Structure 1
Amino acid sequence: MKSLYSHFILLIAALLIPVLSFAQNAGMIKGSVSTPDNKPAEFISISLQASHRGTMTNAKGEYQLDNVSSGSHQLTISGVGYQTISKSFNIVAGQILELNFILNEDKQQLQTVEITGRKERTYKTKSTFIGNKTQTDILDLPQSVSYVSKELMADQGIVRTGDVVKNFSGVSQFTFYDDLTIRGFRVNGQSNTQLFNGMRTSTGFWKQPLTNYLERLEVLKGPASALYGNASPGGVVNRVTKKPLDETRKSIGISLGSFDTFRALADFTGPATKDSTLLYRLNLGYEDANSFRDLQFDKNVVVAPSLSFLPDRKTRINFDLVYNSSRSRLDRGQSVIGDDLNSTPISLALSTPNDRENENTYMVSFSLSRQLTDKLSFSAAYLKTGYDEDLYEHRSANAYASDANGKQISNMVAMQIFTRKRKRYIDNFSGFFNYKENTGPIEHKLVLGYDFGSEKTPVGASQLTASGYRNAANTGFIATYNPANKQNYLLDKNGNPVPNVPSFDLTNIRASQQLQDDSKAFFSVASIAPAYYYLNAGYAQDQLRWNRFQVLVGLRYEYYTDFSNYAARNEVKTNSHAWLPRVGVVYSIINNLNIYGSYVTGYNPQNAATLANPNAGGPFKPLESNMQEIGAKGDFLNGRLGLTTAVYRIKQNNVLYPANVTGQPDLLRQVGGVISKGIEFDVTGRITPYWSVIASYAYNRSYISESPVAKEVGVQNPNAPRNLANIWTRYNISAGAFRGVGFGAGTNYVGKRNLSINLTQSIPEYMLVNAAAYYTVGKVQLQLNANNVTGKKYWVGGYDYIRLFPGAPRNYLATLTYTFN
């Protein structure tokens, strides 16, 4: 605590007594850093070892360190992909010492798994691991990748995936949950198709976790099955955690804002040993916030430590843990009367004060990278995910209440109660070799690997459900109301069937949100049978380079085994397998400008419960997809600004949708085919050293191409807008009386969306305006974010007019951040 108090004292001092001149016993160091071809090297770390002080080179490769005490010092110059330089020097009071350096490339530092952290502090990321199982320049990847760095997340004051994705082309929210639409296809965190540091996992889904532990959030567009197994044809989301750095950086931030929001975040990193063979990073997060939605709140605790052990130049070992504890209520959305979107307030939620949604999630991973020879390296990683849910909720039954004749009462929402407890465990292992070799003028980068993945729902998962209508004897309930058998139901004074759980009256909201005596409801036990699946997969890939040409060829074989009613007498086992090819071509027109083309395939088996469930109408064939994509990628303004544009066509076969047959809620039907095609444009980086920008535009036509129901052919996929656009920019004043002041502003546009292929219901387009102001003095930054400045009423997604998900009205967030060494 004493140390914490001292840091806050320093923070106040930094605000009130900024240093405006050199101390009399100090000097200055300045100079430049360049590459062997005489190009400036930007974002290079300059560290003064004994004092733990440092800076970074600017766009011209220049640096400056003020207030360096007289005497002997050692300067360390380092950057990702470059050999580190150490320089000893002496300086006297008042001296301005100029030291210039040339950095040579260090190919040994290129990682096969992401272990040491990214030092850049900009919106732009040069390389990624998501598309190639090894560190690859985004320019050289024959597939579109969108990403958001931690710097952009901090500038926009966002800590939820749903807020982050507005910066991606072709990506939008489907619901409030960890639930997205990518290129017209739904991707949700409940399925085991998301990635954590390139490993398969899932999230808690119902509540989006904080993102303060992330270095970046990235999306590999299109089917990714050739690398990661079953996945959505739209793309795969990868959460990349912050990794340790070999220089000391520390920060503490506190945010206060609208809806009684309080948030505290901390990030500490640096060497844990004097020789920097052990590096550490610790991210902490705490949040206590209410919502513009009735009775909704979030209480989150995040603990995310990371360790990197580098015993020698050939070996790297990493440990990552993310633990998230969430206490909240489950928000099932807004309901409206009939088809009138303005008939109820956007604050309306159907919860009651005794509802709860408690989730605990952990993701723990170990990874190893070993350079066996100059040409051969080996990488392996293991990830375990654990999830624990304790749910009690009042929610809609996805329908309006029925009157005596079976007609809907448009102001009365049929309700049900769920109480559920369950756990889920996911295990993944990935091991692969990288081999580099030349055959004549052709360079090869070969990858040969094996993946294992499994997910288990153990014994003990169960759910109690109260729904439907009370029987005539009032001793139980009947799931649905049939007016032809009216005598079987308990009727009220108006002759209407009495619901098992009181309906929610949209004309008397506050009365419906009060505590209810649930002891009078009739519950049925719905046991969640233990389930288990595992997959084994092998893959091979070769990336060939000849002059300006690159060719990527890959093939994956996957064998999938799935059990329903696992370890029970009625256990059902299903198997499926697939060969998944991948081909890509890249051609460098000029330096830093590439064009590419690719063909990739996707595969997603229906799970055992769907394949073998007689109530679903199966068995059904696995989902199969393929994508053709062409595009261009370029780095401009000396690499500060990156641009990607892509044109694509995705086809998915054997698509399933609910049959919507009364009394058969599990019944599914195979629509046939869905086609998604469109164009995307992304630009990310800095126009000048003090002017950052990210912008995107996407047009997507995602529709049913084959269906036994003729009128469905051509219908746009649910929650798939045809047009998406976004721009955000920040400018910092670097000199003069307003030095340290910065401004940010942006807009994002989402087009009109259908809510279901079976309904005519839709939600309108919207455009939001957001703004921010920053003031940096010394080690302290004050930040104010204003979101939805115009107070636009809008909906981020939904299933129908009983389950709409409105966006937040005008809101504000003030953040104070203190950085120190």
Structure 2
Amino acid sequence: MTAKHTKNRAGRSWKRQIAVLALGAGIAVTPAHADNAVRPFDIPAGALATALNRLAESAGLQLVYDAAIAEGLRSRPLRGSYTPEAALQQLLRDSGLSYRIAENGNVVIEKQALNYRQDPAALPAVNVIGNKAYDPNNPFNPFYAVPDASTATKANVAIMDTPVSIQVVPRSVLNDQQAVRFEDAVINNVSGVQRSYGTADMYESFIIRGFNSTEQNYRNGFRRSMGKFDVSNMEQIEVLKGPAAVLYGRLQPGGMVNYVTKKPLATPYYALQQQFGSFSEFRTSVDATGPLDNAKTLLYRFNGAYDSGESFRDIVDHERIFIAPSLTWRPNDRFEANLDLEKRHDNYMDDYGVPVLDNRPVNGRRNLFTGDPAFRPRQDNTLVYADWSFKFNDDWAIKHKFQWDETDIVFGGPGPNGKLNADGHTLGRWVITGTSERRSYSTSLDLTGKFETYGLKHNVLVGGDWFFFNQDAPDNMFASSDWGDPINSTFDIDNPRYDTIDVAAVNAIRPNWFWREREDWYGVYFQDQITIWDKLHIMGGGRYDMAGYGGFGGTSWEATKTGFSMQHEDKFTPRVGVLYQPWEWLSVYGNYVESFGSNNGRNALTGGTFRPQSAEQYEIGFKTELFDKRLSSTVAYYHLKKTNMLTTDLSTPDPLDQVAIGEARSQGIEVDIKGQLTDNFNLVTTYAYTDGRVTKDNNGTEGKRLLNVPEHQASLWGTYQFTEHFKAGLGGVVVGKREGDTANTFQLPGYTRLDAMAAYVQPIGKTRLTAQVNVYNLLDKEYFTGSTSWIPTANVGAPISAMGSLKLEY
């Protein structure tokens, strides 16, 4: 590496001559960059000349320029994985400087032509040498490959260096698929993940590697309270496979879904999108970001969405209002602070899908709604998030985060008591009304550092966190005609009639179901990622939890508050992983992880709380990066066991008594491939074989398959950029047969669904207009997306439908 420039203004003329002579001399034997592959960079903000020197050293570039043109200029931090030319472009952005490649291969940096203003829409593309490259946070980035992720390690580490399976769904995939629902973005693009249904469609939850995540989703590494999520301010979605309790505390062992929000940008960007589709779907979203001051130390971003529409399901409709402003303050190259606010209002209809007859959901009734329009639930959510970080130097940093999340829910609507009656067409229904208040507070403090000892490179994390969650349901009411309540709740699927439930009789029934729940835990954790010979990566760590939890429902709200108590337990959980990279394109890895699981509730027999669930996982696999690191893949085999599950206590005569001795096992193979075969061809393909079964139980379910878990599932999605303006895509999802309940008394048939898209981009001055249409379920197949976990119903997939979009960006 050689970076040639002058040191001061004196003698500028002759030094320019030296630079010019150098271009024609023997320096040409060193090319501009012998290797144009994507590689990690970590260059702090500071003097532009210093940043250019660091870039030249790490990328092997020959830079030739007059130091006077860089004097007084500063660069932004450059962190992440880029090709060398993309990294250079990021450092020079908004500097008034440009670069070109001389005939001898050197990179010449010079002032831009006067009155030249680079179009932000053109910033991402680099056609100088090699392949195009984009800033991962650039809104115009069309590529699917994401080399780095933070969820697995709480640090921005290359996925190829991380000895766990972590899959990333970038914003470009969401845009191409027009995934306006969070669940679609996840289950269509990540192996081994299915949707889980609890109380109708009230919460978005997933089944990962066979185990239900129980409404535990994460935002920027912090757990959300139960609810729905809007994709308008999501930059990417990261799915960590296997137990993640070491860094995130108590959660289910299959894995975690963490979405990373959009950040304010120093380069102005504005977008307005109008989407419209089948079943009166109407969605308007806006995205605006840029600096608030000339020095670009204070940045803002605003995301908002209004979404309303009906459904292929009778009576069902929805309305959402969502806003998400955020601020970033960077007074210098060492300190950064962020503040986010989210407000969401959802007004919708509870929908439990179609009922079950014998061992199958009823066919030919995908528009059948078994609820009642007299009851309409709603949710109101407020979230405040803040963080600050300080870099002591290039190697050591500290970061503090805080999140406050609250959701107020108004319940309302009928649900089926069970399968269809013996006559094959009538159904008993219960009705629920009431409210629930959910609050959570989260905070964490992390110290990260890099150092070397005896040739070993360490990347350490030491931290602690606190999480508090409370839920109060003080006035819920259940009623049903089957239980003798005079509310007329019976339903006939052959003659569906609505507004038949006696609402006055429902309201006359006093509340009869109450619930209070608390979680309060502290955790301290450590992690060290050791690199030996630049090929062997060893990750070790552990977490010590001090957890309190409890849940109780009494005969009245006063009795519930009086009878509520907390159980406390401490536990240490380890994690060990090893990754070996014999070649730059291949990593072979394995890990062993333990997990501190969810609360099992209260033991009615003893008055105490059951032991929490726990889990352990063994995993081996390999990762590849091919085609100049544009196409990545992960292949993993895992064996995961979950223990302390509740089952019937056979030592007592009461069949309702339980004991925490149950076990379940999931094992399988997962394949995820994502990226670019060429600059024009993007691809996502997944496959999962999942063998999930109950292995120990007193309820007669030993050997039964786990609920809603197909043995085989796969997906394929690809887009091709035919011209500069036109792109088209095609894909499909294949899901095998699934068990509809834990006793395996009914099944959901397997299905195949095909989707397609086409988009045309038309530049209009310095803006661009994108017209796009997506068609879903091209073959109009009838299929079921999943069954409700505690009642025999099946949620129905949409028939053939379309989504159109007009998006204006600047």
Q: TM-score, normalised by structure 2?
A: 0.80
**Residue 259 (structure 1) aligned with residue 279 (structure 2):** yes
Measured after TM superposition, the shift of residue 573 of structure 1 is 2.0
Equivalent residue, structure 1, for 2:625: 635
| Aligned amino acid, residue 315 of structure 1 | F
Measured after TM superposition, the shift of residue 41 of structure 1 is 6.5
**Residue 464 (structure 1) aligned with residue 477 (structure 2):** yes
Q: 1:687 and 1:102 mapped to 2: Cα distance?
A: 18
Equivalent residue, structure 2, for 1:7: none
| Aligned amino acid, residue 466 of structure 2 | F
**Residue 181 (structure 1) aligned with residue 207 (structure 2):** yes
Q: 2:115 and 2:312 mapped to 1: Cα distance?
A: 58
Residue pairs, 1:352-363, within 5 angstroms:
352-363=372-383
| Aligned amino acid, residue 771 of structure 1 | A
After superposition, what is the alpha-carbon deviation per residue over 1:569-628, rounded to whole angstroms, capped at 9, x for unaligned?
333221122110000011111113211111111111425xx223349x975332110111
- DSSP-derived class of the 2:563 partner: coil
- DSSP-derived class of the 2:504 partner: helix
Measured after TM superposition, the shift of residue 89 of structure 1 is 2.6
Q: Flag the 1:500–1:542 CA change in 2: closer, same or farther, 3 A.
A: same
- DSSP-derived class of the 1:91 partner: coil
Measured after TM superposition, the shift of residue 43 of structure 1 is 13
Measured after TM superposition, the shift of residue 454 of structure 1 is 0.3
Q: 1:183 and 1:518 mapped to 2: Cα distance?
A: 42
Equivalent residue, structure 2, for 1:195: 218
Measured after TM superposition, the shift of residue 340 of structure 1 is 5.4
Indicate which of 216, 222, 242 corresponds to 2:262.
242
**Residue 159 (structure 1) aligned with residue 156 (structure 2):** no
Of 239-248 and 664-673, more deviation after overlay is shown by: 664-673
Measured after TM superposition, the shift of residue 374 of structure 1 is 3.9
Equivalent residue, structure 1, for 2:511: 525
Q: 2:243 and 2:39 mapped to 1: Cα distance?
A: 35
| Aligned amino acid, residue 431 of structure 2 | I
Equivalent residue, structure 2, for 1:55: none
Measured after TM superposition, the shift of residue 218 of structure 1 is 1.5
After superposition, what is the alpha-carbon deviation per residue over 1:453-509, rounded to whole angstroms, capped at 9, x for unaligned?
001235x732122225466xxxxx4xxxxxxxxxxxxxxxxxxxxx65431112211
After superposition, what is the alpha-carbon deviation per residue over 1:409-446, rounded to whole angstroms, capped at 9, x for unaligned?
54221112211112111000110111222111001111
Measured after TM superposition, the shift of residue 815 of structure 1 is 0.6
Equivalent residue, structure 2, for 1:559: 546
Of 383-392 and 569-578, more deviation after overlay is shown by: 569-578
**Residue 573 (structure 1) aligned with residue 571 (structure 2):** no
Of 85-94 and 289-298, more deviation after overlay is shown by: 85-94
| Aligned amino acid, residue 147 of structure 1 | V
After superposition, what is the alpha-carbon deviation per residue over 1:634-664, rounded to whole angstroms, capped at 9, x for unaligned?
211112111111111101112236899xx99
Q: Flag the 1:218–1:100 CA change in 2: closer, same or farther, 3 A.
A: closer
Indicate which of 565, 577, 582 corresponds to 2:575.
582
The Cα RMSD (Å) is 3.3
Q: Flag the 1:444–1:340 CA change in 2: closer, same or farther, 3 A.
A: closer
After superposition, what is the alpha-carbon deviation per residue over 1:239-282, rounded to whole angstroms, capped at 9, x for unaligned?
11111122122111111110111111111112222111112111
After superposition, what is the alpha-carbon deviation per residue over 1:531-569, rounded to whole angstroms, capped at 9, x for unaligned?
332001111111111111111110100011124469943
**Residue 549 (structure 1) aligned with residue 572 (structure 2):** no
Q: 1:159 and 1:665 mapped to 2: Cα distance?
A: 45
| Aligned amino acid, residue 549 of structure 2 | D
**Residue 138 (structure 1) aligned with residue 159 (structure 2):** yes
Are the equivalent residues in 2 in contact too, given 1:393–1:418 (CA < 8 A)? yes
- DSSP-derived class of the 2:246 partner: helix
Equivalent residue, structure 2, for 1:395: 415
**Residue 604 (structure 1) aligned with residue 597 (structure 2):** yes
Measured after TM superposition, the shift of residue 295 of structure 1 is 1.1
Are the equivalent residues in 2 in contact too, given 1:694–1:728 (CA < 8 A)? yes
Q: 1:100 and 1:255 mapped to 2: Cα distance?
A: 33
Q: Flag the 1:667–1:591 CA change in 2: closer, same or farther, 3 A.
A: same
Q: How many residues align?
A: 697
Q: Flag the 1:340–1:432 CA change in 2: closer, same or farther, 3 A.
A: closer
Equivalent residue, structure 1, for 2:9: none
After superposition, what is the alpha-carbon deviation per residue over 1:131-173, rounded to whole angstroms, capped at 9, x for unaligned?
1111111111111011211111111111112211221111112
**Residue 452 (structure 1) aligned with residue 466 (structure 2):** yes
Q: 1:416 and 1:93 mapped to 2: Cα distance?
A: 71
Q: 1:77 and 1:605 mapped to 2: Cα distance?
A: 42
After superposition, what is the alpha-carbon deviation per residue over 1:300-356, rounded to whole angstroms, capped at 9, x for unaligned?
111011211111111111112222110111112211444454455111121212121
Of 646-655 and 711-720, more deviation after overlay is shown by: 711-720
Q: Flag the 1:674–1:148 CA change in 2: closer, same or farther, 3 A.
A: same
| Aligned amino acid, residue 183 of structure 2 | G
Q: Flag the 1:759–1:722 CA change in 2: closer, same or farther, 3 A.
A: closer
Q: Flag the 1:42–1:743 CA change in 2: closer, same or farther, 3 A.
A: farther
Are the equivalent residues in 1 in contact too, given 2:37–2:629 (CA < 8 A)? no
After superposition, what is the alpha-carbon deviation per residue over 1:274-302, rounded to whole angstroms, capped at 9, x for unaligned?
11111211111111111111111110111
Q: 1:818 and 1:812 mapped to 2: Cα distance?
A: 20
**Residue 782 (structure 1) aligned with residue 771 (structure 2):** yes
**Residue 122 (structure 1) aligned with residue 119 (structure 2):** no
Q: Flag the 1:102–1:732 CA change in 2: closer, same or farther, 3 A.
A: closer
Are the equivalent residues in 2 in contact too, given 1:299–1:326 (CA < 8 A)? yes
What are the ranges of 5 or more consecutive residues in structure 1 without an aligned counterpart?
1-33, 45-60, 62-73, 104-109, 402-407, 472-476, 478-498
Q: 2:403 and 2:468 mapped to 1: Cα distance?
A: 11
| Aligned amino acid, residue 256 of structure 1 | F
| Aligned amino acid, residue 172 of structure 1 | Q
Q: 2:128 and 2:438 mapped to 1: Cα distance?
A: 53
Q: 1:713 and 1:393 mapped to 2: Cα distance?
A: 34
Are the equivalent residues in 2 in contact too, given 1:337–1:344 (CA < 8 A)? no
**Residue 792 (structure 1) aligned with residue 781 (structure 2):** yes
Equivalent residue, structure 2, for 1:625: 615
- DSSP-derived class of the 1:226 partner: helix
Q: Flag the 1:238–1:583 CA change in 2: closer, same or farther, 3 A.
A: same
| Aligned amino acid, residue 638 of structure 1 | D
Equivalent residue, structure 2, for 1:538: 524
Of 414-423 and 217-226, more deviation after overlay is shown by: 414-423
Equivalent residue, structure 2, for 1:296: 316
Equivalent residue, structure 2, for 1:696: 686
Q: 1:536 and 1:38 mapped to 2: Cα distance?
A: 47
Q: 1:399 and 1:241 mapped to 2: Cα distance?
A: 41
Are the equivalent residues in 2 in contact too, given 1:118–1:245 (CA < 8 A)? no
- DSSP-derived class of the 2:602 partner: helix
After superposition, what is the alpha-carbon deviation per residue over 1:189-248, rounded to whole angstroms, capped at 9, x for unaligned?
2xxx321101122331xxx43212101111100000111011111100101111112212
| Aligned amino acid, residue 135 of structure 1 | N
Are the equivalent residues in 2 in contact too, given 1:612–1:619 (CA < 8 A)? yes
Q: Flag the 1:592–1:440 CA change in 2: closer, same or farther, 3 A.
A: same
After superposition, what is the alpha-carbon deviation per residue over 1:757-779, rounded to whole angstroms, capped at 9, x for unaligned?
31321011111010111111110
Equivalent residue, structure 2, for 1:91: 113
- DSSP-derived class of the 1:211 partner: coil
| Aligned amino acid, residue 779 of structure 2 | T
Are the equivalent residues in 2 in contact too, given 1:178–1:188 (CA < 8 A)? no
| Aligned amino acid, residue 212 of structure 2 | R
Are the equivalent residues in 1 in contact too, given 2:275–2:804 (CA < 8 A)? yes
Q: 2:614 and 2:663 mapped to 1: Cα distance?
A: 10
Are the equivalent residues in 2 in contact too, given 1:119–1:245 (CA < 8 A)? no
